[in-house]
């Protein structure tokens, strides 16, 4: 209960634009950087001397940015911030995949895999854990995830978009954890974060009653940017935080659900292996686009 209260009413952020160490020379890429959390995060980082790229829905622009990184090749922090919540029932991607899973999981997974060579090259000349990949989860991971992490992503529910959203947010944690194991030896830190309950466009598809009831609990998007800022730039985070879960406004989750921790572990480690299964499902969906 105490952890849930801290999600709703977190302590003051420990890292803001007022005490952020200089980030001169670092390159950040923020998806969904045109509004909400992504916009606020980009604005904070821009004024600390960084190079900040924002990525939106244009495939042409995204591919152009990837080519820029390849020619550098430097990319210090990839913030997988973009997402969608509660779209109209039956919404799917062009590949006929449930839209929330496609947008919140498959898109970030593919982008991250495409940029891994650049991230690895950056990490080879940078201090440990300063090259980072940040994924975006939600408080629904704690409040709404089915035991062990949810249903089969290949068969999302057709009756409750909230369940599909929760599955996608658990999926982000699964992907963060699996990537952490993949890139730990390279000195890259991969974590997920719940940015907080915020007044952003993420709720634009939510029922009017839900928006009205949740309004008193929502914070300014800038507060969510502080969560992402801490995950991406806090100097005291080490590789030991790999696969971890950051909560508002910048701290590691003190007591994540035990069943989800088991899902992060492979069967060889005594867990259920659901995170690995989910990452393999994602790879199966996007492999042809590499």
Residue range 31-46: average pLDDT? 89
| Helix, strand, coil percent values for the chain (each to nearest 5) | 50, 10, 40
How far the first Cα of the chain sits from its last, in Å, is 43
In terms of DSSP bridges, do strands 77-79 and 27-31 run parallel, antiparallel, or are they unpaired? parallel
- Annotated catalytic sites, by residue? 165, 169
Weakest-pLDDT range from 38-47, 103-112, 144-153, 194-203: 194-203
What is the reported pLDDT for 152? 80
Q: For residues 97 and 91, what is the distance between their CA atoms, to the nearest angstrom?
A: 8
Chain segment 167-188, per-residue pLDDT in tens: 999 999 999 999 999 999 999 9
Listed in sequence order, the DSSP H helices in the chain are 2-8, 36-46, 59-71, 99-101, 107-123, 140-144, 161-183, 208-214, 221-233, 258-264, 274-286
Domain boundaries, the chain: 2-289
Would you call 74 helix, strand, or coil by DSSP? coil
What is the reported pLDDT for 201? 58
pTM of the model: 0.90
Helices H / strands E in the chain, number of each: 11, 7
Residue range 12-16: average pLDDT? 96
Could you say which of 1.20.1260.10, 3.10.20.30, 3.40.50.720, 2.40.170.20 is the CATH number of the domain covering 2-289?
3.40.50.720
The model's confidence at residue 212, banded by pLDDT at 50, 70 and 90, is: very low
Q: Which residues contact 262 (CB under 8 A, 6 or more apart)?
A: 148, 270, 271, 272
Residue range 39-49: average pLDDT? 89
Residue 184 exposed, middle or buried by CB count within 10 Å (0-12, 13-18, 19+): middle
**CA of 289: how far to CAs of 44, 83, 97, in Å?**
33, 20, 15
Residue 151 exposed, middle or buried by CB count within 10 Å (0-12, 13-18, 19+): middle
Q: For residues 30 and 38, what is the distance between their CA atoms, to the nearest angstrom?
A: 6
Could you tell me what percent of the chain has a pLDDT over 90?
66
In terms of DSSP bridges, do strands 251-252 and 245-247 run parallel, antiparallel, or are they unpaired? antiparallel
What is the reported pLDDT for 70? 64
Weakest-pLDDT range from 51-65, 140-154, 197-211: 197-211
Evaluated on CA atoms 9, 21, 27, 130, the torsion sign reads negative
Q: For residues 171 and 215, what is the distance between their CA atoms, to the nearest angstrom?
A: 26
């Amino acid at each position: 209960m105490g952890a849930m209260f801290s999600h709703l009413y977190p302590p003051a952020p420990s890292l803001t634009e007022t005490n952020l160490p200089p980030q001169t020379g670092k390159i950040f890429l923020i998806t969904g950087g045109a509004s909400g959390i992504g916009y606020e995060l980009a604005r904070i980082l821009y004024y600390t001397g960084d190079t900040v790229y924002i990525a939106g829905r244009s495939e042409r622009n995204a591919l152009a940015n990837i080519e820029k990184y390849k020619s550098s090749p430097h990319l210090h922090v990839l913030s997988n911030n973009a997402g969608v919540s509660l779209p109209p029932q039956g919404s799917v991607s062009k590949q006929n995949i449930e839209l929330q899973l496609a947008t919140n999981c498959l898109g970030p997974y593919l982008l991250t895999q495409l940029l891994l060579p650049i991230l690895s090259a950056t990490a080879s000349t940078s201090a440990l854990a300063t090259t980072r990949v940040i994924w975006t989860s939600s408080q629904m991971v704690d409040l709404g995830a089915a035991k062990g992490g949810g249903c089969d992503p290949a068969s999302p529910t057709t009756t409750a978009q909230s369940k599909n959203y929760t599955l996608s947010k658990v999926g982000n944690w699964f992907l963060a954890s699996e990537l952490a194991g993949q890139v730990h030896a390279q000195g890259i830190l991969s974590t997920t974060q719940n940015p907080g309950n915020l007044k952003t466009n993420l709720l634009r598809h939510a029922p009017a009653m839900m928006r009205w009831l949740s309004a008193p609990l929502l914070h300014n998007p800038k507060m969510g940017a502080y969560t992402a800022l801490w995950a991406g730039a806090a100097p005291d985070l080490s590789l030991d935080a790999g696969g971890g879960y950051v909560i508002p406004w910048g701290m590691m989750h003190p007591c994540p659900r035990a069943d989800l921790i088991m899902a992060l572990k492979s069967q060889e480690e005594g867990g259920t292996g659901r995170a690995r299964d989910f990452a393999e499902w994602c790879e199966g969906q996007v492999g042809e686009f590499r």
